[in-house]
A and B are shown apart, each in its own frame.
Chain A
Amino acid sequence: MNNQQALATTDDMSTDPTLDPTIQRKHAAMIERLSNLHQSRVSNKTDLKDSSFESTKSFLLQFTNSKQAIESSLTQIQQIPDADPTLDLKPEIEKISLSITELEKLIAESSYFLPPYEVRSSLKTISDLKQTLDSVASKVKPRKKFSFKNKPAKKTEPTNIITKESIENEPEQHSGYKVKDAPGFRSRENETLTKEFKGSEMGEFVLSDLTNCEVRLKGCLRTLFINRLQNCKVYVGPVLGSILIEEVEGCLFVVASHQIRIHHAKESDFYLRCRSRPIIEQSFGVRFAPYCLSYDGIESDLKVSNLDDDTGSWANVDDFQWLRAVQSPNWSILPESQRIDTLII
């Protein structure tokens, strides 16, 4: 990381943004001419004495030095006897791989003034170095397996802590990697579920695996996930982010949100207020109508969530499986005569 920054700064110095580019170019050309002149003069007296900027020789010198350093540390690793299983060579190898990358960058930075032959040959050197490193790393790897018994105590410590947490939080979840579960109502039947959110607890919420339930969520939410609901009625205050609805059947939703996505919905009615276009996928028999919820303080909640005016987007439904210009057969607008009245919860 540091290295990248260092390279970036040298680059910036050579192309000072405050200077006019044409002046800069002229300046560069002038310096080039002068240095060429100087070089031809000097070369009459001494043979090789050139360490100026953008010189092939100084590049080659630097390149060879770093290359030798890398090679020597590679041979060092190779010479380490196999008998020492406690020695962890991974950081060493990573260090070498880093210096190879550095060297690669050096070529990259210098490639514009180097003769093509030098670029090719140095790139070849790099790929050779990489190959050697790979073979060394693969030789070292089996050793890692031997030392495996010693390591877990240190290495998997953080993982252990997390699994412990997950066991405390949700004992039923064993498969997969889950650290915690979001707050929500799960696996209920024939119940009325109510929750009121205050400003400080604005976060995510989950409704999943509910049957024949009525859900009332008052106050603002940040995001809402709805999954596997049957014959439920869901009334929700404004959601600042997005709502994701999946696998619902025979339900009634009254929700407001910036984004609404509906997947695998069957025979359900949606009373929406939405800042953007609601979308459906793999759904059929879904009907749409405007938001019609009311509770004490809903006006200010809607205002806070920037959902206080109805933009009419609830009717602009995109069916991702129906890309033709004619109306999708999967959804319709609920006729006014069949809509429910304003709901007060």
Chain B
Amino acid sequence: MGLLSIIRKIKRKEKEMRILMVGLDNSGKTTIVLKINGEDTSVISPTLGFNIKTMTYHKYTLNIWDVGGQKTIRSYWRNYFEQTDGLVWVVDSSDLRRLNDCKFELDNLLKEERLSGASLLVFANKQDIQGALSPEEIAKVLNLDAMDNTRHWKIVGCSAYTGEGLLEGFDWLVQDIASRIYVLD
């Protein structure tokens, strides 16, 4: 029992999580990932394909898959669904016109069976822009309250430009995933 408990403790410390970042184009997915990793965010081209970032967050290793959101490549999102522990949906809170598109794509995504166990974090990004909708308003537009009640979800207002709110969101996501992974161990 002594050795086993030690091994389990070590194993638990090396916990890896797979996080998938998706959302419409121009919502700021790549900027969020780079910002939270402390990298330069001044020159970021629209993502053609995907980026993977591995970072240590508290005692976990996060593998963040940042997938491009342009319309032509949204159909490839499903290639990344397997084994996803956490889903991050990024919304451009200042893009009022495309909120319906945003809701449509999110609803489609949540129907996906392979993502049914994943915790959902919604980032209401670009809160620093004058005229951006608040997270509460975004939640209403996306009708998040009507979601299946087995889904763990949270919406957090953030600004990838200033960095505000990013840690709050990731803290929640990692905590939520951790509480599930322990049990499954």
**Contact across chains for A159 and B129 when beta carbons are under 8 A apart:** no
| Per-position binary interface string of chain A over residues 13-29, scored 1 when its CB falls under 8 Å from any chain B CB and 0 otherwise | 00100000000010011
In the complex, identify which listed stretch (A72-80, A109-117, A291-299, A327-335) lies at the interface while the others stay far away.
Answer: A109-117
- A167 contacts partner chain B, Cβ-Cβ < 8 Å: no
Contacts of B32-75 to chain A: CB distance below 8 A: 42-46, 48, 70-73
Beta-carbon contact of B45 and A318 below 8 Å: yes
Of the four ranges (under 10, 10 to 19, 20 to 34, 35 or more), the interface on chain B belongs to 35 or more
Query: Given A33-B2, A179-B137, A320-B48 in contact, is the A241-B129 Cβ separation under 8 Å?
Result: yes
A176 close to chain B: CB less than 8 A: yes
Contact between A32 and B94, CB atoms less than 8 A apart: no
Is B140 close to A, CB under 8 A? yes
**How far is it, in angstroms, between the C-alpha of A124 and the C-alpha of B25 when the chains are bound?**
43
In the docked arrangement, what's the CA distance between A258 and B6, Å?
A: 51
B183 & A123 in contact (Cβ 8 Å cutoff):
yes
Interface residues of A in 243-260 (CB under 8 A from B): 244, 258-259
Mask: chain A, 249-276; 1 = CB below 8 Å from B; 0 = not: 0000000001101010000000000011
Contact status B129-A111, CB under 8 Å: no
CB within 8 Å for A182 and B70 given contacts A112-B12, A113-B5, A276-B44 = no
Which of the 9-residue segments B80-88, B95-103, B113-121 touches chain A?
A: B95-103
- The listed residue (B70, B94, B97, B133) touching A281 by CB distance below 8 A is B70
* Closest chain B CB from A207 CB (angstroms): 11
Which of A108, A176, A180, A282 has a CB less than 8 Å from the CB of B131? A180
Pairwise interchain contact A320-B5, C-beta atoms closer than 8 A? no
Segment touching B, from A41-49, A60-68, A219-227 = A219-227
Check B43–A275 contact: CB distance below 8 A: yes
A282 and B70 alpha carbons, distance in the complex (Å): 11
Would A108 and B183 count as touching, CB distance under 8 A?
yes
- A residues 80-130 near B (Cβ < 8 Å) are 101, 104-105, 107-109, 111-113, 123
CB-CB contacts below 8 Å: A319-340 with B: 320-321, 323
> Does the CB pair A111–B72 fall under 8 Å?
no
In the complex, chain B residues whose CB is within 8 Å of the CB of A179: 133, 137
Within 8 A of A (CB), among B1-31: 1-3, 5-6, 8-9, 12-13, 25-26
* CA A113 to CA B4, docked complex, whole Å: 8
CA gap between A244 and B27 in the complex, in Å:
11
Chain B residues positioned under 8 Å from A152 (CB to CB)? none
> Across the interface, do A204 and B43 meet the contact criterion of CB distance under 8 Å?
no
| Docked-complex contact B183 and A259, CB < 8 angstroms | no
User: Is A171 positioned at the interface, with any CB of B under 8 Å from its CB?
Assistant: no
Q: In the complex, what distance in Å separates the CA atom of A282 from the CA atom of B25? A: 14
Bound CA span A268–B43, Å: 25
- Supply 15 further A-B pairs (C-beta < 8 A) apart from A25-B6, A258-B44: A28-B5, A112-B8, A113-B8, A176-B99, A178-B96, A180-B96, A201-B130, A223-B94, A244-B26, A244-B95, A276-B45, A281-B70, A282-B71, A318-B46, A318-B48
